[in-house]
Amino acid sequence: MIDKAKLFATKAHCGQKRKNADEDYIVHPVRVAETLKQAGFHDVLICAGYLHDVAEDTAYTLDDIEKEFGFDVRQLVAAHTEDKSKAWQERKQQTIHTVHEASFDVKSLIVADKLDNLESLQKEIQTHGNEVWKKFNAGYDWQKWYNQSIAEAMTNGLRSEQIPHYFKRYKQLVKQTFD
């Protein structure tokens, strides 16, 4: 099932490039899935890692994901999928709320995604400096608010022994990038 999800995501994101980098988009879901795999998560969540942006950013739908991978994968991807018809701040506020209230699996998926985004951003800042912020729909201040809010919400309801190592890495990167 994991190999099938990787192939499906590769096909779905074919021809897409990352926003701030000249790399194929598929490298992002691959890194998200790898983060989840390294943290010891189950196959359903790893599949969702590969597929997390498919319904949001490609022609494929949540129904397509359910047909190919089942209801559980669909639910994880759906919990992570933003409604692009809403304004940026409204979408991000919903994601923050989701992270605060969601199941451990949903939190883990979203934080793995945000970690990879922030690691990519760090590389871009090292290469291009503060010019990077001009490429965003919402600049530095809004990105700071969003990432700090995710970092604050991500451990809500979790016991300290449940928190994956990469949550701590995300929190460190948020501090490094925005403080």
Please give the positions annotated as active site. 56-57
Q: How far is CA 28 from the centre of its chain?
A: 9
Q: How far, in Å, CA of 55 to CA of 26, rounded? A: 14
Closest CA to 60 of 70, 72, 47, 51: 51
d(CA 141, CA 132): 13
Alpha helices in the chain (DSSP H): 2-12, 27-38, 43-51, 54-57, 62-69, 71-80, 88-101, 104-128, 140-153, 165-178
Residue type, 24: D
